[in-house]
Each structure stands twice: as C-alpha cells, then as structure tokens.
Structure 1
Amino acid sequence: VTCRLTTRQLYAANLFLRCATRVLVRVARFEASSFADLEGAAAGLDWAPWLAPGVSARFRVTTRRSRLWHDKAIADRLTESLGSRPTGGAEQLVVVRAVGNRFTVSVDASGAPLHERGWRQATARAPLRESVAAGMLAAARWDPATPLVDPMCGSGTIAIEAALVATGVAAGSGRPMALQSWPCYEPGTWASVVAEADRRRAEAAEPPPILAVDRDDGAVTSARANAERAGVVGVIEWRTGAISDLLPPSSSGGPGLLLTNPPWGGRLSAAGDLRNLYATLGRVARERFAGWRIGVLVAERALARQIRPGLSEALRLEPGGRRAWLLTGPLGR
C-alpha cells in the first residue's frame, strides 16, 4: 500500500495500525543500469533527516529483473556511499527494491515489526501473529460491542487482540519506534498522537464478553500470561475444555462471533484425520451458537465443509509460508 502522509499521520500509522508489518518512508527513486550509475545516485542521497550521528544503516536489498542482481554488492555500494559510520551500535533499516533498473530507497519508521506488540512471550504450538489475528477480526467484521469466542485459543492471540480492540488500546502502545531516533523526529507531534491514543482508551465502552478456551491447560496458562502482559487478563473469560463441551460466555449479551484458528494437518500433526474435530466444531456451533457468525482459518478448504457448507472467503493469506483462508458465515437459528 502506497500513500502520502503528513508527519502526524505517519506517527499515527505506526501507533494505530493493527495489521501492518512495517511503515516505510520513501527517501528516493532513481534508475541505475550499472554500478557506476548506482554509486552516482547514492552519492546524491540526503540521509541527514534519517541517520543521526552514531547510527549506522542496515540495507535490505531485493531485486527483480534488474541488471544489478547481486543484492550484497548493491548493499555494499550504498554502505560505502555513507562514508565512515560506527559499527555494533544502533542501526536504521533501509529497504532497497529494484524492479528492472528502477530503484526505490525507503527508511523503516517502525523498528521491530509492528506485529511484535511486546506481550506475546509465552507461546503454544503454531502461534498466530498478532497482526494476523487483527486481520481476522477485521475481515470477519467483528463488532467490538458484541461477544467473541475462540474455542481453540492456543496462545490467546485472537482473544487478546479482540480485548485490546474493545478496550481502545492502540496496537503500538508502549513500544519504541525507529522514527523516534531520527534527527527529524518531532517529539511534540508524537506526544499529540499518544494523547489521542490515551483519549480513545479512556473513552472506550465497556468491553463485551470475550471467551478463550483450549483443551490444553498449558496453553490456557500461557494465554493468560500473555493477556496479563497485555493488560487485558481480566477482560477475558478463560476455560479449559474440549470442543464438545463448549458453551457461550457466562454473560453472553446476545449473538457474536465464534472465531478460531483450528489445527492444520501438516502444521501440528503428521497426518491425523481432522474431519471429526471440524465436524464437532460445526455441530456444537450450530446447536449452541445459533444466530452467531463463525470464522475459521483453514489450510484445506474441504475441511471447512465439515463445519458448515457454503462458508465464504473473507481473507487469503500465507502465515508461515503456507496458503490459508479465513472462511466466514452465519450460523442458522
């Protein structure tokens, strides 16, 4: 996604975006068909707004159909153009992409990937990225005023992201950003954006019932520890139990969303037949969650038919390098 942002909007993007990995700021675009061209263009780049004294640049280069195809050689030329820089200290990530002979140079405004919220330290098997959980909530059109249930919560990522959204907590709250080390950083503007985040949190409505369940007591313990670090452990109802015993939240408050990331055949187990698990989820959902909506992240669309035929594709993604789909739909009364 490419867009034009003011400084304040750039800061807000880093603080509030829940599904992004990084926010990059374009420094320059130029054409180079030889290393001499590259060196000449690099010599004219103005790094003063982005690199403070004592900060080195770490170049991440990718090329496609370019005459200059050697990524490391490109990075070496760009590093040399900066002159003498300290090593072993603070680094600024610079992303360089070449398509044909067209080069784009961007600085990373985020630092650590934005999905690293800082609270997910205890993990169950095959943990879900926080940004993927946020994307699932958005794609499934979850209303933060309505209940949410994850019957196979694992590390608790879906339930915790839902609780953070419902309580108005900004995705990047409390974590440092690379932009804060730039010479052009505006502390007053950042303070204004943080104040906006604090206002949203203070004005957030009472959160709805959010239920996280897993048959593995160790997974529930890990999920609770993550929620404690996120500051929402008390917002979520926790249970240990099998899918066959699943019931709506204690104070349901009306229909909501049943959203989960069930096991994938090649992800957690060798070959076991998961059809019974998916069929049980579908039966329990229809019998006990009538009027709700359901969303499941699956790697095999045929398995989703065991839950409910006719679920619609809401999101397509590749977590862990494997293609997956979020399928959603209503549960009949």
Structure 2
Amino acid sequence: MPSPEEYSLFAITAPGLEPLAQAELRAMGIRAAAEPGGVAWTGGADDLYAANLRLRTASRVTALAAEFRARTFFELERHARKVPWERWVPRGGAVRLRVTSKKSKLYHEGAIAQRVLEAIEHRVGPLAAGGVVADEEGGEEQGDAQLFIVRFVRDACTIRADASGALLHLRGYRQALARAPLRETLAASMLLGSGWDGASPLLDPMCGSGTIPIEGALIARRIPPGLASPDREPRDYTFTSWPDFDVERWAKVVDRACEDILPASPVPILGSDRDDGAIEAAASNAARAGVADDVDLSVRPISAIEPPPGPGCIVINPPYGVRVGERDPLRNLYAALGRTLRAGAPGWTLALLSPDHALERQVGIPLDEAVRTSNGGIPVRLVVGQVPETS
C-alpha cells in the first residue's frame, strides 16, 4: 500500500483505450503503466486532481482502498475492519457499493456487501440511508454517495474508492442529442488515436450532435474536459467530499489548467451534417462547452463539403448498419465518401470508426488499424490512412 500522503491510482478506460490514457498521463508528467481495463500509477493529491480534471479518454479514476485474500466471511470481516474507510467517507456520509465475485468461495455478492458496509460503519459510524448496493457500471449516480468497487477474483479481494463521481465522459455540455450519439471519451480517443494534435485543420462531415468537433476544439484550445463550460468552472467530483480533500491544492490545479487555455482555436474546426436538427443540437452543445466560436457548423451532405486549406485531419463516426438490410445502402455511402475525399481532400489524414472490414474497403483509401475498442457494445476499430494525392 502507498504512504498516507499517496494514492495507488487507477484510471478506468474502455477496452483498447489504455495506451491513449497512458500517453495523456505521460504528457502530465505522470509515469503510469497500462493494464487491461485502464492505467495504474502511484501519486499524490495533485495527480489525483489533475487526472480527473484533464483525462479525455478515461471513464473514471479510482484509489486503492484495500487488497487481501478471503475465503470465509470471518476473514472478510477481519480484513475489512482494518481498511481506513475514514479516508474517503465522512462521518454520517453515504456509501454505495458495486460488488462482483468470480471463481471465489465467497460468491454471494449481497452478503459480501453487507459485511463491507458493517465494516465501514464500524470505523466511521452510522451511514446515511444505511448504505446502498449499486447497480452495474453506467447506472445512475446517487447523489453524493461514495462509491466503492469491490471485486473478488479467485478469493483475492480488491476494493477501490471512486474519485470521479459521475463518469468522466459526462462533461456536461452534451444535452442536445442527435441519432446514435458518440460518447465524449470515444470521440476524444478517435482524435488522439488519429494522431491529430490540434495543430492542423479538423473536419467531421457526419458530425451529428457535434461531439467530435467539440472535443477537437477542447484539444486545440487546451481546455481540460473537466472545464468544458462557458465559465470554465470545474464539474463536480467525488474526491472533493473526501475528509482529506485539500481545497487550496485543488484550486492551484484548476488555476494551472486555466492558465494553459488558449483564447481561440489556432486552426479551423469544421463539422457538417445533412440533418439540420443535428446541426442545431451541435451548435447548442458547442455553446455549453464554451467553444461556439471555435467550431464552424453547417448543414450539407458529404458531397458538398469544402475542406479548408490543408492538409488536415478528417475524423468520422459513420453509420454502422447493424440491422439486416442496411448494408447495401451503406456500401454506397462509404464509396461516395471515398470519392468525395479523393477529389476534395488529397493529402489529408482520414480516421474512420469502423465495425466492418468490407465497409472500410468501399472507401477506396488504404487504412490501418490504430485503436480497437467498442461503441455501444459493437466491436469497432479506428482505422487511419492518408487520402492519396491526385495525379
């Protein structure tokens, strides 16, 4: 276990996004190790605060509370009562538990949760509402309750304290939605995985409710996702309710982040869609993120796109056609996309989120896999290539 002044931290990511989160942390000066499901490192409060505020590709940041082995409830109770729960739970606070058990003698998740809640109350006193067993990941967050993630695997128990609260993809700006919205963390991962760094023009000709161009504007202006609002006030995080939360250190982390923000995007960022309702949603979302002046949004079909002087990067999350009978029209769409880009954007980088090799081939541009992950439960790959120059 780390010292009392440090935390054993783990940033949870969607599968396949671990190297991107690791690179983000490295850019913050944090040396972290990519592991299945996320990135691990040991750090102090500054690292904890900065990771929550700045990470674009992670879903949640957690701190290790305990690791031990238990094959009986007596062993579980004995170890759980030694955990310094008061580090994360104030007296009279509320607690939520998310418990899973696989290939372990203690398999009854409800009984495990009961023992853990009793151990917490043993150290911090009665809990508000007596504690709650949480739903699966992605369920509704419940007020200010502190979430603990309790995992048993082959009788080894790991307990982690959630530091984030609401999942980190919930930046706060995406309130108006178009069809098949893209999570903010995945949009940012597409941009970072494509190699785009905010120094060249960006275009999304199927932008829907604007998540890709908005995330692009945040990257280009160096705005942390936790400050994606017009007033640049940070969103709420669970760690601000921890008894050892340092208000002054948190303020310094936020101030340093604000000092890095550029007054405007240094490059053109364009988003278009043939659906005027989608563009209306994108415009309102961009305003809520505080980047309305940084994105150029327009209603137009792909065939009418007008890339600015480049080269730059085209990042697209096209429709997938998961239902029977949708593939034929999609083949035509992907082929038309390729023809348009070859004619109008030679030399540009194309990054495409693809569920299907056959659809990728319709684009007619050599594409290599950069990231493999999932979107809405559908396995997808981010494939990247350069639009060939016209002869």
TM-score, normalised with respect to structure 1: 0.95
Confirm or deny that 1:266 pairs with 2:322: yes
Query: Among 185, 194, 215, which residue is 2:245 paired with?
Result: 185
Confirm or deny that 1:33 pairs with 2:71: yes
What secondary structure sits across from 1:318 in the alignment?
strand
What secondary structure sits across from 2:129 in the alignment?
coil
C-alpha deviations, 1:7-54, integer Å up to 9, x for none?
Answer: 111110001000000000001111101111111111111111110123
CA positional deviation for 1:192: 1.0
The runs of 4+ residues in structure 1 deviating greater than 3 Å are none
Query: Among 96, 112, 116, which residue is 2:150 paired with?
Result: 96
Contact 1:294 1:331 in 2 (8 A): yes
* Residue-pair matches, total: 328
CA positional deviation for 1:58: 0.5
Query: Structure 2 CA distance, aligned partners of 1:74 and 1:111?
Result: 22
CA positional deviation for 1:187: 0.8
Q: Give the gaps of 5 or more residues in structure 2.
A: 1-38, 131-142, 228-233
Query: Structure 1 CA distance, aligned partners of 2:54 and 2:319?
Result: 30
Instruction: State the AA in 2 paired with 1:312.
Output: D
CA separation of 1:309/1:256 partners in 2, compared to 1, >3 Å: closer, same or farther?
Answer: closer
| Aligned position for 2:128 | 86
C-alpha deviations, 1:232-257, integer Å up to 9, x for none?
Answer: 11111111111111221xxx242100
Instruction: State the AA in 2 paired with 1:228.
Output: A
| Aligned position for 1:128 | 182
Query: Structure 1 CA distance, aligned partners of 2:223 and 2:377?
Result: 29
Query: Structure 1 CA distance, aligned partners of 2:325 and 2:108?
Result: 39
What secondary structure sits across from 2:322 in the alignment?
helix
Instruction: State the AA in 1 paired with 2:55.
Output: L
Contact 1:54 1:90 in 2 (8 A): no
Query: Structure 1 CA distance, aligned partners of 2:151 and 2:120?
Result: 18
Query: Among 309, 317, 320, which residue is 2:373 paired with?
Result: 317
Instruction: State the AA in 2 paired with 1:171.
Output: P
Contact 2:96 2:147 in 1 (8 A): yes
CA positional deviation for 1:143: 2.6
Query: Among 283, 292, 295, which residue is 1:236 paired with?
Result: 295
Confirm or deny that 1:211 pairs with 2:265: no
| Aligned position for 1:166 | 220
Query: Structure 1 CA distance, aligned partners of 2:188 and 2:53?
Result: 14
Contact 1:301 1:325 in 2 (8 A): no
Identity of aligned residues (%): 45
CA positional deviation for 1:91: 0.6
Q: Give the gaps of 5 or more residues in structure 1.
A: none
Instruction: State the AA in 2 paired with 1:328.
Output: V
CA separation of 1:270/1:177 partners in 2, compared to 1, >3 Å: closer, same or farther?
Answer: farther
Contact 1:146 1:253 in 2 (8 A): no
1:222-233 matched pairs, under 5 angstroms: 222-233=281-292
1:268-283 matched pairs, under 5 angstroms: 271-273=326-328, 274-283=330-339
Query: Structure 2 CA distance, aligned partners of 1:240 and 1:206?
Result: 21
Instruction: State the AA in 1 paired with 2:354.
Output: V
C-alpha deviations, 1:255-274, integer Å up to 9, x for none?
Answer: 1001000001017x863520
| Aligned position for 2:136 | none
1:294-313 matched pairs, under 5 angstroms: 294-313=350-369
Confirm or deny that 1:74 pairs with 2:142: no
Confirm or deny that 1:48 pairs with 2:86: yes
What secondary structure sits across from 1:297 in the alignment?
strand
Contact 2:171 2:225 in 1 (8 A): yes
Query: Structure 1 CA distance, aligned partners of 2:205 and 2:170?
Result: 24
Query: Structure 1 CA distance, aligned partners of 2:246 and 2:159?
Result: 22
What secondary structure sits across from 1:172 in the alignment?
helix
CA positional deviation for 1:104: 0.8
Quick check: 72-81 or 133-142, which moved more? 72-81
| Aligned position for 2:160 | 106
Query: Among 325, 334, 343, which residue is 1:287 paired with?
Result: 343
TM-score, normalised with respect to structure 2: 0.81
